[in-house]
């Protein structure tokens, strides 16, 4: 277990969010980065894979990730570039809206940057690679083609792929393009983490059962569908679909990174040997703590104790 190699691939951006007093605070965030941070806090050795600029904001991101225990050897740096930027506004119910400035972010040319070829070769050596629908969108057509070749090599040598479907329509030219890219990705996916609402919007699935049936038809061996209400459905080759409810339903302050942290809790528990149902409970427990704080990344001191879910290495405090 100590030799396990895990990587998360995607985009991290500068984050601006409004505090209750109206002042703006600066941080950073991105769906796969959020998951990588929570994986690291749960004791999983994880590298983050992305591209940044050579600016002070990018320097600050890398320093912060390293302080969390994330490996940054797979972070490419593009001279003269800046990372993307987004702003969050949160309503009284804890739901959020995002505003983005990201079109020129260097991660959009991840495999075309200096070092991109070596990066592609290195990624094929990981035991688990995690990415999302946002990762697919920002890489573009050529980046997705290069990524597909990496994933095929990784799986050929026994590695696994975990994919959070995370559908963001504004990142795609149209839904048909997204469905085609998702179809290719799901054909290479070992663990799918989906949201009922996103799947309904993208595919028109009218129930969690329809989502599960579609994922199974695309060859996914293990799937989690997060429901519109608290809870999820879990299914695997040796497990009939099962409803898994959180131990406690909380009132969210901010739902940012709820799904990202769920993915971290689920994957950490699975890597530790827990079954899919116990792993889903771990995901619920972590997400329940995260949504009670503002921003994507909660203070380390607020991390819940998930030892009972068989995490692999022991969570960092």
Q: What is the pLDDT of residue 178?
A: 98
In the chain the domains, ranked by start, together with CATH numbers, are 6-309 (3.40.1190.20)
Residue with the bigger pLDDT between 295 and 6: it is: 6
Q: What is the mean pLDDT of the chain?
A: 92
pTM of the model as a whole: 0.92
CA 228 from centre of chain: 19
Per the annotation, the verdict on 260 as an active-site residue is yes
Residue 86 pLDDT > 90: no
Residues 200-229 as b/e (b if ≥16 CB within 10 A, e otherwise) read bebbebeebebbbebbeebebebbbbbbee
pLDDT digits (tens, 9 = 90+) for 108-130: 999 999 999 999 999 999 999 99
pLDDT at 1 over 50: no
- CA 129 centroid distance within chain: 10
Q: Which two tokens stand for residue 170?
A: 């504004």
Read off φ and ψ for residue 6, nearest 5 degrees: -120, 140
Among 164, 198, 254, 260, the active-site one is: 260
Mean pLDDT of 208-214: 94
Reply yes or no on whether the pLDDT at 161 is more than 60. Answer: yes
The reported pLDDT for the residue numbered 317 is 40
């Amino acid at each position: 277990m100590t030799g396990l190699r895990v990587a998360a691939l995607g985009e991290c951006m500068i984050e601006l969010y409004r505090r209750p007093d109206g002042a703006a605070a600066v941080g950073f965030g991105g769906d796969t980065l959020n998951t990588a941070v929570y994986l690291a806090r749960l004791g999983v050795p994880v590298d983050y894979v992305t591209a940044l600029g050579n600016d002070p904001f990018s320097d600050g991101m890398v320093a912060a990730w390293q302080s969390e225990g994330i490996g940054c050897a797979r972070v490419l740096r593009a001279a003269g570039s800046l990372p993307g930027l987004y702003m969050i506004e949160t309503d009284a119910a804890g739901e959020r809206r995002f505003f983005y400035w990201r079109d020129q972010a260097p991660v959009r040319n991840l495999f075309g940057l200096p070092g991109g070829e070596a990066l592609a070769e290195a990624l094929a050596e990981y035991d688990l690679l995690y990415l999302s629908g946002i990762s697919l969108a920002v890489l573009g057509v050529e980046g997705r083609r290069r990524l597909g070749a990496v994933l095929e090599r990784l799986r050929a040598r026994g590695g696994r792929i975990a994919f959070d479907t995370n559908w963001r329509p504004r990142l795609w030219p149209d839904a048909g393009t997204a469905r085609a890219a998702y179809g290719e990705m799901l054909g290479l996916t070992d663990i799918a983490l989906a949201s009922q609402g996103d799947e309904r919007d993208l595919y028109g699935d009218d129930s969690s059962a329809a989502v599960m049936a579609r994922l199974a038809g695309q060859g996914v061996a293990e799937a989690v569908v997060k429901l519109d209400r608290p809870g999820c459905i879990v299914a695997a080759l040796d497990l009939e679909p099962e409803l898994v409810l959180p131990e406690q339903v909380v009132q969210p302050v901010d739902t940012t990174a709820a799904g990202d942290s769920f993915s971290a809790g689920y994957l950490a528990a699975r890597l530790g040997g827990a079954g899919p149902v116990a792993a889903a409970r771990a995901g619920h427990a972590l997400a329940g703590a995260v949504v009670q704080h503002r921003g994507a990344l909660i203070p380390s001191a607020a991390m819940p104790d998930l030892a009972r879910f068989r995490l692999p290495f022991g969570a960092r405090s």
